[in-house]
Structure 1
């Protein structure tokens, strides 16, 4: 039996159906064809399937957001290469962050001596206003600004809104831990005393929190090759430092003021 030795002409090869290949499609083939809505649906559908979540990796991300946030975003780049999207496809980090929100809010309620119903109201405020509400607003603003003004190619690939919200979640975790955990350790015995030293330390907690949020947000967008001039996102840092010294000059204890605001929001 003789086999043909001449190659198949290119025009005939182009007419072959692509689906006839027995080999699997590349890893990013199906992801490229998915809409943002379908990706969001897949993400939300997995939120109650705990057996499919990688909680060990989520905990690793939380630790490294404190000590080396660059490594977290390096893994976001790996996801882009393998799954053709920067945004998370595993809701484990969101679940862990929600649990930490509840635990830290419980500690906050204990320090402030809130009753059960007041704790529930406080928790609802923290989740739906401070985290989700502010997150939707901030993520949408960054998503719009980056796509409108920072893209290298205005007609090329754009920043995913889901990725913008992921950046917010990453940047939200360190301030949450600083303000709802480390600050509370010193609140009753030191920060609530009203002295000038407590003003310095209490305001420094807020300075660190906002600085962490700005820096991690900057890292999130600077790692995207489709964006340029992302250093502009660091502009609030010197303004933040200046504001810190202004509050010290005025003797304004931000920790004490915002704690009183939390209490007013819950009790009133």
Structure 2
């Protein structure tokens, strides 16, 4: 069960199992109430100027009494994008219908939802234990990271990662699978960029919260990431090995 978080007044009520599910998931069926225009704007600026997406976080807290977004439109768009990517990869690898369905489930359930739940839990726990300013511990309701917000941060960080490793890599597939150093460099650089974008996205999301300090710690994975990238250029094709593990060919 996910850690509980605050809900808007419209969803207030007795604490139940369903109320502990993040609000963004409980509203997935309310398509008519979703603001897809805002969600598309957010996805665009997550690539162009990601800091702008977090400028309204404090305003959202003041008006909705929660740091986490309550509109699942961005979730719907991202799930649709993952379905589109899975279709593209299935065509590229000439997969049978059942294998193509397996890829859809892998990308949505494992890559985005399960990894996202794990990352959100790690970020939620680490931020509340290590990054919260000591002066704010007296008011934990207003000065703690909600699990749902940590999942939002994962969602925001995942989209540039998705564009790099699910779309750009697909378009460059004939290049990254070739056996020469230049193609190895292209493929490995894609993975460096994708994971660096994700790490930076997590940092931006928590850095936007006014009660957190030392958020620069969240950038520390960039050092081993870059070191691993440099070592991989000696002859380890990250893209080829990752795709072999994913598709088995």
Q: TM-score, normalised by structure 1?
A: 0.82
Report which of the two structures shows the higher radius of gyration computed on alpha carbons.
1
Conserved? CA contact 2:192–2:229, under 8 Å: yes
Report deviation, 1:40.
Answer: 4.3
The number of residue pairs the alignment matches comes to: 236
In structure 2, the residue matched to 1:260 is 244
Q: Which of 194, 198, 203 pairs up with 1:209? A: 194
In structure 1, stretches of 5+ residues that fail to align are 1-27
Q: Indicate the larger mover: 34-43 or 105-114.
A: 34-43
Q: How does 1:15-164 map to 2 (within 5 A)?
A: 30=9, 38=19, 40=21, 42-152=23-133, 153-157=136-140, 158-164=144-150
Report deviation, 1:239.
Answer: 1.6
Conserved? CA contact 1:46–1:90, under 8 Å: yes
1:95 aligned counterpart, secondary structure: helix
Conserved? CA contact 2:178–2:184, under 8 Å: no
Determine if the alignment matches structure 1 residue 199 to structure 2 residue 199: no
Q: Output one character per residue of 1:25-84: Cα deviation in whole Å (capped at 9) or x when no partner.
A: xxx994897779648465334211211000010001111000100000112222112212
For the residues of structure 1 that align with 2:52 and 2:25, how far apart are their CA atoms? 26
Conserved? CA contact 1:31–1:85, under 8 Å: no
Q: Which of 192, 217, 220 pairs up with 2:205? A: 220
For the residues of structure 1 that align with 2:238 and 2:29, how far apart are their CA atoms? 38
Determine if the alignment matches structure 1 residue 168 to structure 2 residue 151: no
